[in-house]
Amino acid sequence: MTRIDFKALRWLLPYFAATPGLWIAAALATVVSSFTDPMLPALMKQLLDRGFDTSGFAIWTVPAAVLTLFAVRGTAGFLADLALARITQDGLLTMRRDMFARLLDARFGLFREQNATSLSNTVVYEVQNGATMLTNAVIAFLKDALTAIALLGYLIYLNWKLTLIVFVIVPGVAFIMRTLSKRLYKLARSTQTSVNDLAYVVEENVLAVRVVRLHGAQEAQMQRFTGLSAILRRLSLKSAAASAAITPLTHMLAAAALSAVICIALWQSQGNSGLTVGGFAAFISALLMLIAPIKKLSEAASPIARGLAAVQRGIDLIEGTPAETQGSHDPGRARGLIELTDVSVVYAEDNAPALDRVSLCIEPGQIVALVGPSGSGKTTLANLLPRFVLPTSGVVNMDGHDIADWKLDALRRQFALVSQDVVMFNDTLANNIAMGRPLDPQRLADCVEAANLQDLVAGLPQGLNTVTGHNATALSGGQRQRLAIARALYKDAPVLILDEATSALDTASERLVQQALQRLMAGRTTLIIAHRLSTIEHADRVVVLDHGRIAESGGHRELLERGGLYAKLHALQFGGT
């Protein structure tokens, strides 16, 4: 293995070495199981050297000894496997918790660099497979190594000269393991990447099934899928070839050693120093038994390489992904005063800034609408406030304190969001509204009523205890929007962000949502992102953004009278001139 593999193994130790008692039990059981292997050829030696003469012992003792031998071996193997399963699952539980915790506090750059399929595969499948392969390989390596030591010791006891020939196998096996394990590790890493790419194509086509069929893009998507499948097939075949080469090469080395042993034993038998018939049979039996653990030791490179490749992605997630930075300021409930001073946001050095030296003050309880062409920076500005996006330069203050100095949970406690893309969890309606907060039945009922959801809840078989299913796809767009409003009401945050909250609704649904939004906005600092200008005429102030800068700001009628960008956008939507 390469050096990085041993670093990975050392990194994993705290997770899988947390129960030393189980490791000791597994090791002791493995030792007992391994050292029973030489006892069978030793028993056969005694029988053959006596010429099957039973005068010195009762016949029943032979099957009794064999049964006892295998009973001890089987019991020890069972206990070792049980302890190993406990070690693996305990370690996986802790490691998965750490990985999921890192997902929950990772910087948002992680989600731009990796897609959801790749991350979920890493947390759920890759670590499971990798850790299982590694722990099984470790205990198997220990068992096979001890078995090989016990059998070698017995061979030396029988005839140390013949046993020297066996050691010819060792450097050959070491060379095979070193060469092929490096190749297997590289192939395993490439295979994991290929699997994630293929899974992502499947996810895309499941989510975009209507778009694909509407545009007749099935053939193009099939070509994508087939191409990635072919890459995965080629990598799998290469891995299979590398793994398959280990066994015949090891067998050839073992066959050469066995041939030499037989020739020398026949030559020794011509003199007086040869082995007895029983000794020779026991030696050959032990030598043949030795091939199996040596073969398994050589094959241990494959699961170790594949296991480390899979676990490496989990290691990269925990160790290579920085958590969000935060301060210590936590004043409780904020008043809702928001101030931006010369704030710029640049996502990439070679791109134009998403925001360019923006300064803006929003008073507590004020309703401010952000409008402008697509790509003007509206969403970026809103994402600055809960620190979903970090400013490249400038300062964002909440109640006079730089948001960089706030504790993240305290800062985000001040914001509620209702967007056009409503995310619902596969849980009850009540839990989707409360979002981790203690369930208060009366408060839930009040929020449901305020969000105009009482008819929906009354029509469900279990009311608020009804499970929504995957992303609540059985609900209409208006119902999902009102659920998001109920969620915001339940949170009762002082600052509200409305991101195109009514953009995709029919007239009836929009009326119900607008009524709920009016109740939600009462007494809160509200930031409205809108393309439909009819929805923001009631705003206290309209801020018009263009190319990342504030083009103009003022009331609805004031901006129309100025005849600037806002007036042009309004004319485009309402057919004016």
CA 335 to chain centre: 39
549 class by beta-carbon count within 10 Å (0-12 exposed, 13-18 middle, 19+ buried): middle
Per-residue confidence (pLDDT) for residue 402, from 0 to 100:
94
Per-residue confidence (pLDDT) for residue 84, from 0 to 100:
83
Q: How far apart are CA 186 and CA 246, in angstroms?
A: 17
pLDDT tens across 310-323, in order?
Answer: 788 788 888 888 88
Report which of 295, 289, 292, 271 is spatially closest to residue 44, judged by C-alpha positions. 289
Neighbours of 173 (CB within 10 A): 18
Per-residue confidence (pLDDT) for residue 508, from 0 to 100:
65
Q: How far apart are CA 331 and CA 494, in angstroms?
A: 13
Computed over its alpha carbons, how large is the radius of gyration of the chain? 35
Cα-flanking dihedrals φ and ψ of residue 542, to 5°?
-115, 125
Q: How far apart are CA 444 and CA 493, in angstroms?
A: 15
Per-residue confidence (pLDDT) for residue 3, from 0 to 100:
38
Q: Which domains does the chain have, with CATH numbers?
A: 3-320 (1.20.1560.10), 338-574 (3.40.50.300)
Residues 6+ apart with CB under 8 A from 399: 331, 334, 335, 336, 337
Per-residue confidence (pLDDT) for residue 4, from 0 to 100:
39
E strands, 429-563, are 495-499, 525-529, 541-546, 549-554
pLDDT tens across 206-244, in order?
Answer: 777 766 776 677 888 888 889 889 999 999 898 888 878
* DSSP code of residue 502: T
Question: Which positions of the chain have pLDDT values less than 70?
Answer: 1-6, 47, 49-57, 168-170, 173-174, 177-178, 210-211, 214-215, 268-275, 295, 298-302, 471, 501-510, 575-577
Pair type for strands 549-554 and 541-546: antiparallel
6 class by beta-carbon count within 10 Å (0-12 exposed, 13-18 middle, 19+ buried): exposed
Residues 6+ apart with CB under 8 A from 515: 452
Q: How far apart are CA 136 and CA 152, in angstroms?
A: 24
CA 412 to chain centre: 25
Region at 576 (left for phi over 0; alpha for psi -120 to 50; beta for the rest): beta
Per-residue confidence (pLDDT) for residue 302, from 0 to 100:
67
Per-residue confidence (pLDDT) for residue 346, from 0 to 100:
92
Q: Which amino acid is at 135?
A: T
* DSSP code of residue 122: I
Residues 6+ apart with CB under 8 A from 532: 502, 503, 573
Pair type for strands 393-398 and 401-402: antiparallel
Per-residue confidence (pLDDT) for residue 215, from 0 to 100:
67
Per-residue confidence (pLDDT) for residue 54, from 0 to 100:
62
Identify whether the C-beta of residue 326 lies closer than 8 Å to the C-beta of residue 408: yes
Per-residue confidence (pLDDT) for residue 453, from 0 to 100:
86
Identify whether the C-beta of residue 468 lies closer than 8 Å to the C-beta of residue 429: yes
Does an H or E element contain 547, and which? none
Q: Which amino acid is at 338?
A: I
Neighbours of 538 (CB within 10 A): 12
Report which of 66, 62, 80 is spatially closest to residue 22, judged by C-alpha positions. 80
Give the chain's length.
577
Average pLDDT score over the chain: 82
pLDDT tens across 387-438, in order?
Answer: 988 999 999 999 999 999 999 889 999 998 888 778 888 888 898 888 888 8
